Amino acid sequence: MLIFPWSDFLVFSLALRALEVLPLALPCPARELSEAEKERMEDQEENTLRELRLFLRDVTKRLATDKRFNVFSKPVDIEKVLFQ
Sorting pLDDT into bands at 50, 70 and 90, what band is 20?
confident
- Give the model confidence (pLDDT) of 33-78 as tens digits: 999 999 999 999 999 999 999 999 999 999 989 999 888 888 888 8
Q: How far is the C-alpha of 50 from the C-alpha of 26, rounded, in Å?
A: 37
Which string of DSSP letters, residue by residue, matches the chain? -----HHHHHHHHHHHHTPPPPPPPPPPPPPPPPHHHHHHHHHHHHHHHHHHHHHHHHHHHHHHH-GGGGGGGSPP-HHHHHT-
